[in-house]
């Protein structure tokens, strides 16, 4: 049944729930997994041995910081702008190297969460007192637009964690285009892309035996229950992961174990699930150099350099306009 509430009063989350659960096949957007509990579960995922991405990128930043920094205007100065800074654990490796070689730079972490930024600021003051930084709260592109309009130093834009992999190719191209629009010819984009690899390794990373990824995925239902007064029975759904080695797309689903009805009171919405019906919740795209080059070219960017983890599982690329 369609909601009777006026569309103008709906939040982005409510709109996504209404459109996604009324669609066939059903879907919900993974960006709504990240409330306080979702953030905590993602931290746990990053610490799991199966979730190789974090360690691979950590090692690239730890072992190749000097090579990465070669392209930065170390003497005349640059701004290091990180989109989605989180706890900055990996970035601190690069910051520490830049601080050691006395690079002239300011670190500008951008995040939607003021809380996350404040924690990062406290850690930076304690651990890297020589690093100049300014915390920028807001949406990535608002902040980036503002920065490029008044700041004329070289900009290094950092996007870590293969976050781009949670976007379909068309959205990933739009994301790159918005960054490209704010870059000058001397600026650099430094971005992580998880690579295609043995399908079992990908499946294990997104379907751990302890059920942390399952809890992360189900956090969507937890949020709908709590924030929209719904009655999803969490036990009546299970997490399912697929990986298509041809396209490199890993997909997360929640699968209904039985024929069931769910009431979402705040939206005046009743949703029926047939047994084995799915809600598609996330894609985690895996790449190769050709695909990255194709995405970049669609956004008028060129690959400048590639930094690869020792096992080849993960790569960071620098791009120029
Ligand atoms: C944030 N993002 C890059 C993670 C990924 O690998 O797609 C989110 C995630 N989903 C399940 N595990 C981790």
Cβ of 242 below 6 Å from ligand 1: no
Residues linked to residue 261 through DSSP beta bridges, in sequence order: 272
Predicted local distance difference test score (pLDDT) of residue 257: 98
Predicted local distance difference test score (pLDDT) of residue 151: 72
Q: Give the H or E element holding residue 282.
A: strand 278-285
> Can you tell me the mean pLDDT for 137-154?
87
CA dist 49 and 99 (Å) reads: 30
Contact call for residues 65 and 94 (beta carbons, < 8 A): yes
Interface pTM, i.e. ipTM: 0.99
CA dist 191 and 188 (Å) reads: 10
Given a cut of 90, is residue 116 above it in pLDDT? no
- 143, two tokens: 């902040």
Per-residue pLDDT tens digits for 15-36: 999 999 999 999 999 999 999 9
Looking at ligand 1, which atom is closest to the CA of residue 284? 7
CA dist 321 and 15 (Å) reads: 36
Given a cut of 60, is residue 7 above it in pLDDT? no
**Average pLDDT value over all residues in the chain:** 95
Cβ of 162 below 6 Å from ligand 1: yes
Cβ of 284 below 6 Å from ligand 1: yes
DSSP state of 236: G
């Amino acid at each position: 049944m369609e909601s009777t509430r006026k569309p103008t009063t709906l939040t982005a989350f409510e709109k996504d729930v209404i459109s996604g659960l009324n669609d066939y096949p059903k879907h919900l957007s993974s960006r709504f997994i990240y409330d306080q509990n979702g953030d905590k579960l993602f931290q746990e995922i990053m610490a799991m041995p199966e979730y190789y991405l974090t360690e691979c990128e950590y090692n690239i930043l730890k072992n190749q910081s000097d090579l990465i920094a070669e392209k930065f205007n170390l003497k005349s100065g640059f701004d290091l702008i990180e989109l989605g800074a989180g706890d900055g654990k990996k970035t601190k490796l690069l910051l520490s190297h830049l601080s050691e070689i006395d690079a002239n730079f300011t670190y500008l972490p951008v995040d939607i969460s003021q809380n996350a930024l404040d924690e990062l600021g406290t850690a930076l003051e304690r651990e890297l007192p020589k690093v100049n930084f300014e915390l920028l709260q807001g949406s990535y592109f608002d902040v980036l637009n503002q920065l490029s309009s008044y700041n004329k130093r070289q900009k290094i834009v950092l996007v870590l964690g293969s976050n781009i992999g949670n976007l379909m190719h068309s959205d990933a191209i739009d994301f790159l285009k918005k960054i490209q629009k704010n870059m000058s010819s001397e600026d650099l984009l430094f971005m992580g892309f998880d690579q295609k690899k043995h399908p079992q390794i990908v499946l294990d990373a997104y379907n751990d035996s302890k059920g942390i990824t399952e809890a992360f995925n189900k956090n969507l239902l937890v949020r709908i229950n709590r924030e929209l007064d719904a009655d999803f029975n969490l036990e009546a759904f299970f997490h399912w992961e697929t990986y298509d080695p041809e396209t490199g797309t890993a997909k997360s689903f929640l699968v209904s174990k039985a024929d069931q009805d769910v009431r979402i009171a705040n939206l005046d919405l009743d949703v029926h699930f047939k047994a084995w019906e799915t809600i598609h919740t996330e894609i985690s795209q895996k790449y190769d150099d050709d695909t990255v080059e194709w995405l970049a070219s669609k956004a008028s960017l060129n690959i400048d350099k590639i930094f690869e983890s020792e096992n080849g599982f993960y790569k960071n690329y620098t791009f120029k306009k």
